[in-house]
Amino acid sequence: MTYDIAIDGKSYRLDLNRTDGRWSCRVDGREVEVDAVLARPDVLSLRIGNQAYEVKCERVAGDMHLWVGSARFAAEVRDPRSLRGRARAVDGHGPRKLTAPMPGKIVRLLVSEGVEVEAGAGVLVVEAMKMQNELKSPKKGTIRKILVSEGAAVNAGDVLAIVE
């Protein structure tokens, strides 16, 4: 199986196959000796050569992060044969969603639909644990849609607005 794996934005080609419980693995064409045991859901005990690692997987709102020791890596797994996977790699074009990074309450809308915004401009204010946080536009564009109203309770990952 071949994957394009982006770690903190940098892409690696990974060839991974398993036969009889043994993994064979190539990272960017280079062979790596790997032995893996799933210790429990989201926790992998890895041996690379004789080095032992405990890798934790964090999945929140569709994002995947991997922890190797105390280092955290944003990971994105793409199947190079998937067309949409490729489309995703192109950034800055098309609509972008503004999602809630945490559960909370919408206390204020700072813009309305149809308004032009700069990248980083405040779109709305979410309150959680008695603190208010301004959520900013992920890109320069037009506020295509606002999907929440003031006072609404939202969950992490909920789409709040779309900027195009």
Partner 1 sequence: MFKKILIANRGEIAVRVIRACHEMGIAAVAVYSDVDRASLHVRKADEAYPIGAPAASESYLNITKILDVAARSGADAIHPGYGFLSENAKFARACDDAGVTFIGPTAAAMDAMGSKTRARQAMARVGVPFVPGTSRGLESFEQAEEVAARIGYPVMLKAAAGGGGKGMRLVHAPEDLKSSLEGARSEAERSFGDSEVYIEKAIINPRHIEMQVLADEHGNTVYLGERECSLQRRHQKVVEEAPSPIVDPDMRKRMGEVAVRVAQAAGYTNAGTVEFLVDQQKNFYFLEMNTRLQVEHPVTEVITGLDLVHLQIRIAAGEKLPFTQDQVMIRGHAIECRIYAEDPDDNYFPSPGKITLLLLPSGPGIRRDSGMYEGWTVPMDYDPLLAKLIGYGTDRDQAISRLTRALNEYFVGGIKTNISLFRRILSDPDFRAAKMDTGFLDRLLKQQRPETAADPKATEVAVIAAGIFAVLGAAAAGAGERPVATDSANSKPTVASNWKIAARNEATR
β-bridge pairing 51-60 and 43-48 = antiparallel
Q: What are phi and psi of 92, to 5 degrees?
A: 85, -15
- The burial class, CB within 10 Å (0-12 / 13-18 / 19+), for 124 is buried
DSSP H helices, the chain, are 83-89
Taking phi over 0 as left and psi of -120 to 50 as alpha, with beta for the rest, 50 belongs to alpha
Among 22, 24, 31, 64, binds partner 1 (CB under 8 A): 64
Q: Minimum CB separation from partner 1 for residue 106, in Å?
A: 12
Regarding 104 and contact with partner 1 (CB under 8 A), the answer is yes
Among 24, 68, 113, 164, binds partner 1 (CB under 8 A): 68
Q: Minimum CB separation from partner 1 for residue 14, in Å?
A: 4
Give residues in contact with partner 1 (CB under 8 A).
Answer: 1, 3, 5, 7-8, 10, 12, 14, 16, 18, 23, 25, 27, 32, 34, 36, 38, 40-44, 46, 48, 51, 53, 55-62, 64, 66-71, 73, 75, 77-79, 81-82, 84-85, 88, 102-105, 127-131, 133, 156
